[in-house]
Amino acid sequence: MKKGQNCPFFAMVRWKSQWKGGLKAGVVIRNKKDAPGRKRGIPISIFLDWVEELVVAIVLIAAVFTFCFRIITVSGTSMVPNYANGDRILMINRFTAPQQGDVVVIINVLDDPIIKRVIATQGQTVDFDYEKKAVLVDGQPVDETAFGLENGITEYPYASFQLLEFPQTVPEGCIFVLGDNRAVSEDSRYQVVGMIDQRDVLGKALFHVFPLHRIGPAR
């Protein structure tokens, strides 16, 4: 037997030495974040990139809806049956001249903005044939079925507002507008509204967004 081979003291020293070496090696070789089964979190730089992209997207959307589009709530019944009170439409801000048939939002005419349909543009002559209940533009009846309406819906107005005298030629830079519900609409037939300066056209109806069963392109 070699000296100290079976001595409990030396055996204890060897065991403690191995234990310390193993512990030290564990600290050096293995790191907590590399431990098996431990999930690694999202790096803070990636998270900040996501936040930055989200903020930029929100700002862009806000800018688009400020300068290009708006959601407008219809007030009143002058555009029935196409637009009822409380309906919401997506409006695009005016960048081009309004055309016949466009549904436009108008400001600076009455106390509140109004929504009407363009019937005639600059240089065109407007008149009414009350026997046939028709609107005439340059002597021709307007086909209102193209607007989702029936022909023969324009009767002589009995409102208390003073009427313009017809025929009328639309001045340069102006439009002539009517409501789809002619019986109740305050529009270009009346002196209180008259011909609309195109600069007072806020925008054009683009999309019907509410109520849900009427979602679709504006008509």
Least confident among 7-16, 126-135, 164-173: 7-16
The more confident residue out of 109 and 68 is 109
Instruction: With a cut of 60, say whether residue 207 has pLDDT above it.
Output: yes
Residue at 126 is within a domain: yes
Of the ranges 1-5, 198-202, 206-210, which one carries the lowest mean pLDDT score?
1-5
More confident residue, 64 or 150: 150
Q: Using H for helix, E for strand and C for coil, what is the string for the chain? A: CCCCCCCHHHHHHHHHHHHHHHHHHHHHHCCHHHCCCCCCCCCHHHHHHHHHHHHHHHHHHHHHHHHCEEEEECCCCCCCCCCCCCCEEEEEECCCCCCCCCEEEECCCCCCCEEEEEEEECCCEEEEECCCCEEEECCEECCHHHHCCCCCCCCCCCCCCCECCCCEECCCCEEEEECCCCCCCCCCCECCCCCEEHHHEEEEEEEEEECHHHCEECC
- Report, as an integer, the average pLDDT of 46-69: 74
Which percentage of the chain shows pLDDT scores above 90? Answer: 55
Name the residue range of residue 90's domain.
Answer: 70-217
On the question of pLDDT at 170 being above 90, the answer is yes
Dihedral of CA 189/190/194/196: which sign?
Answer: negative
Q: Indicate whether 38 belongs to any domain.
A: no
Single-letter residue type at 143: D
- Say whether pLDDT at 7 is over 70: no
Q: Give me the pLDDT at residue 42, please.
A: 67
Q: Using the predicted structure, report yes or no on whether residue 66 has a pLDDT greater than 90.
A: no
Of the candidates 139, 91, 122, 101, the one whose C-alpha atom is nearest the C-alpha of residue 195 is 122
Output Rg (C-alpha) for the chain, integer angstroms: 38
Q: Which is catalytic among the residues 116, 185, 188, 204?
A: 116
CATH number at residue 137: 2.10.109.10
Tell me, yes or no, whether 135 lies in a domain.
Answer: yes
Residue 4 pLDDT greater than 60, yes or no:
no
pLDDT in tens, 104-152: 999 999 989 999 999 999 999 999 999 999 999 999 999 999 999 999 9
Structure tokens at 42: 């999202």
Question: Does residue 32 lie within any of the structural domains?
Answer: no
Q: What is the pTM of this model?
A: 0.70
Residue 13: band (very low, low, confident or very high) from pLDDT cuts 50, 70, 90: very low
- In the chain, how many domains are there? 1
The answer to whether residue 143 is domain-embedded is yes
Confidence (pLDDT) at 115:
96
8: pLDDT confidence band, cut at 50, 70 and 90? very low
62-71, 92-101, 194-203, 208-217: lowest mean pLDDT where? Answer: 62-71
In a domain, 22, yes or no: no
Has residue 46 been placed in a domain? no
Per-residue pLDDT, 67 = 65
What integer pLDDT is reported at residue 41 of this predicted model? 59
Length of the chain: 219
Residue 93 resides in a domain: yes
Residue 45 annotated among the catalytic residues of the structure? no
Q: Which of 75, 78, 160, 188 is catalytic?
A: 78
